Amino acid sequence: MRLPVILDIALGLIFIYLILSLLASEIQELIATVMQWRAIHLKQSIEIFLSGNLDEKEKPEVIKLVNNIYANPLIKSINQEAKGFFSTLPRKLTWMTADITRPLRKAMAKSPQDEKTFPDEHSAPSYISADIFATSLIEELKLPKIIHSLTEVRLEKFKNQRLQEVERILTRSLRQIKSTDLSNQISKDIKEDFKNLNFEYTQIVADFKDNKLDIETSITRMKDSLDKYIDNFQANIEDENKIFLETWQRLRAFHKHTFPGVEEAIIIGGLKPNLNEIVQLMNTSNAVYDGIETAIQDKDSETYKTIIELIDSLPPVMKKNIATLAKRAQYRAKSTEEGIKILQREIEDSFDSSMQRAGGVYKRNAKGVAILIGIALAFAANADTFHIINRLSTDTVLREAVVYKAVQTIEKQSNSPNLSNIDTKQILEEINLPIGWTDDNKQEQLGQNPININGVPIVSLSMIAGWIISGFAIAMGAPFWFDLLSKVMNVRNAGGKSPTSARSRDED
């Protein structure tokens, strides 16, 4: 057998594999769409990412956290759906098919989970970008709310400590006043002014809790209130009285020490929690958590509930991972707000790495499915590799027709890398390929007198082997076979052979 003939046989075989691979790709894509493999795999990958391993991903807190993330408007906006009856009809048919096959998927699944994969929706996004996921996770972790709640607790403590210090200074003064002949009205005025100061401080904290003020404005107002109180104290005292003068000086010194500046007061009072402190709240045995639990007297308060809700909602591994990322972010952050932004970028990087690994797993699983589909298609189409080679090597007309069609296909695809443009239906109609369960094919494969059992012919081992080889070849994918077809065609053309010249030589 001459080399040009061998190349033509190879071209014909590769071209048939290409056509069957295109059909298999369409079948696999249809199954993946109906079964929502990509969306399900993405969600399961996120569950593993948040839980830390495969065994922990089915825990209720993990499922709840992932469902909450998927319920975030940012995630839901990705899952766009068409409107209108005719636009939604194909999607509704897909949903119906998915609902019908759900019991089968549950039976085949390892997880005993009874929930729908997407509890509130028929479908879900098959891709989520790292920035959208990180933003949704941080929103679900309620870090800004936790920061505000923790600042509330510290501001309340700051208020009480400052009022207690002022009260201590006044108590000492009033105790000395009682031993003198000074007017009781002065004592009443001092107590009344302190009562007003207490009220103003309490109102400032309440406004902060209601998000009417930020921490900077709250401290500024506390500073101004203490300024006003000290000015009123000075106006009420007698300048020549030594007791009042000493008390006023102590109040001024206390004011200067407590409020050297707004930012300084915030730092000295530890009012702005850093990112590491926030994350430490997740550990109930941590000193930060113990301090918060002691400081919050009302266990029914919104602040306490918010913190407890965060702690209970996170899987243990996720707490450790977030803590590690938060420590990294804290080293580079100058403020809590900047720390959250850096933490978000750290989460994005970790998510990207995890999804790359998950993508590799999906490709391996898809390859396994492709092999099964390939073998099934090879059997359904009776694509026996050995029979195909035999027909191409013995039937010159068939071989040249297949090669000619392969050349046409490559020329049409030269300006279009999209293999979906190849019309497989038209090719199958134009060429009688050596596949299918036709009588001629079966006779050539099984012989004139095949062995039958109950009217069904017994296939040979060579046919089974041929189907398996074809199945694995189909699973290689259409891009692989098209690329190989182009390379073999270049080798063939380099020898100056064309379908026309080859036909002329065979006729001679």
| Start-end of H helices in 36-142 | 37-51, 60-70, 73-78, 85-108, 130-141
The per-residue DSSP string of 160-200 comes to HHHHHHHHHHHHHHHHHHHTTT--HHHHHHHHHHHHHHHHH
Length of the chain in residues, anyone? Answer: 508
**Is the pLDDT higher at 318 or at 229?**
229
Q: Which of 187-201, 310-324, 390-404 has the highest mean pLDDT?
A: 390-404
Q: How far apart are the first and last CA of the chain?
A: 16
List pLDDT tens digits, range 483-505.
999 999 888 887 654 444 444 44
For residue 71, the SS3 value is coil
Distance CA(86)–CA(487), nearest Å, equals 44
**Is the pLDDT higher at 283 or at 246?**
246
The one-letter amino acid at 157: K
| Start-end of H helices in 210-335 | 215-236, 242-258, 262-269, 275-280, 287-295, 302-313, 316-332
Indicate whether 173 pLDDT > 70.
yes
List pLDDT tens digits, range 361-371.
999 999 999 99
| Start-end of H helices in 439-495 | 439-446, 461-475, 478-494
Q: What confidence score (pLDDT) does residue 505 get?
A: 44
Q: What confidence score (pLDDT) does residue 114 get?
A: 41
Distance CA(18)–CA(427), nearest Å, equals 11
Lowest mean pLDDT among 100-109, 186-195, 253-262: 100-109
Distance CA(252)–CA(254), nearest Å, equals 5
Structure token pair of residue 475: 């699973």
Q: What confidence score (pLDDT) does residue 87 get?
A: 40
Distance CA(356)–CA(102), nearest Å, equals 28
When pLDDT is cut at 50, 70 and 90, the band that residue 115 belongs to is very low
Distance from chain centroid for Cα 7: 49
Q: What confidence score (pLDDT) does residue 222 get?
A: 95
List pLDDT tens digits, range 288-314.
555 555 555 555 566 666 666 666 667
Distance CA(236)–CA(194), nearest Å, equals 13
Indicate whether 476 pLDDT > 50.
yes
Lowest mean pLDDT among 41-55, 319-333, 408-422, 481-495: 319-333
